[in-house]
């Protein structure tokens, strides 16, 4: 009996800090509500085109339609930002619930991002002229990338995660002429020169 208790304690000590039944159940509830909200908003489950786990075709109808695409990396950056904000506001919250909050924040963004207002804003102010919004599958992939970014920042700490953020931003700018910070700039205060430069890609 004593040996069984010791084994159980040893197993529990080796379990990841963010794995817990309560937050896990709460996470699935949030994801379910997110899927329901996106479906109610008219988002398609998958692309009408053949399903693919990854597409690199940014300037096409496939963008934001498959599970992952180059913009998935901007959601990794979202996750890093979520981690910084949550650790700043809720430093004493258990890691599992911190991760849950990151899922909540990512889910709220996906619902907001796929609202008619934001879709039209993307079309009017960015190079994404034919943007139709995300599929539900793509939104779930984006949330997963946010979780990845959160865990990455949690593991790396403030300084190294800041370096990772800058490196990913630079790679995206060189690769697709876009990034999370450029997206924010173009949504809040569009710059014609940036839009022209992006459309030449």
Q: How far apart are CA 58 and CA 199, in angstroms?
A: 11
- What pLDDT is recorded for position 15? 45
The tokens for 153 are: 């920042």
Those residues of the chain that have pLDDT short of 70 are 1-19, 60-61, 127-130, 200-201
Nearest to 65 by CA among 9, 26, 114: 114
pLDDT, residue 44, reads: 93
Instruction: Please state the pTM of the whole predicted model.
Output: 0.87
- The helix/strand/coil state of 177 is coil
pLDDT, position 200:
58
Nearest to 131 by CA among 65, 195, 196: 65
Q: Residue 84 corresponds to which tokens in the numbers above?
A: 């910084």
**Cβ atoms 24, 117 nearer than 8 A:** no
- Tokens describing residue 134: 């995300």
């Amino acid at each position: 009996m004593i040996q069984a208790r010791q084994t159980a304690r040893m197993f529990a000590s080796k379990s990841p800090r963010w794995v817990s039944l309560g937050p896990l159940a709460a996470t699935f509830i949030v994801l379910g509500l997110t899927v329901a909200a996106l479906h109610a908003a008219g988002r398609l489950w998958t692309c009408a085109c053949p399903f693919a786990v990854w597409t690199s075709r940014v300037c096409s109808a496939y963008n934001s339609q498959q599970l992952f695409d180059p913009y998935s990396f901007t959601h990794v950056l979202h996750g890093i930002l979520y981690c910084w904000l949550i650790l700043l506001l809720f430093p004493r919250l258990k890691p599992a619930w911190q991760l849950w909050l990151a899922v909540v924040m990512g889910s709220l963004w996906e619902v907001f991002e796929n609202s008619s207002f934001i879709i039209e804003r993307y079309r009017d102010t960015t190079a994404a002229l034919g943007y139709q919004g995300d599929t539900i599958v793509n939104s779930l992939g984006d949330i997963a990338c946010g979780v990845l970014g959160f865990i990455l920042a949690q593991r790396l700490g403030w300084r190294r995660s800041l370096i990772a953020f800058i490196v990913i931003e630079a790679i995206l700018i060189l690769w697709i002429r876009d990034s999370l910070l450029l997206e924010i700039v173009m949504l809040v205060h569009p710059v014609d020169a940036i839009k022209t430069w992006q459309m030449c890609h």
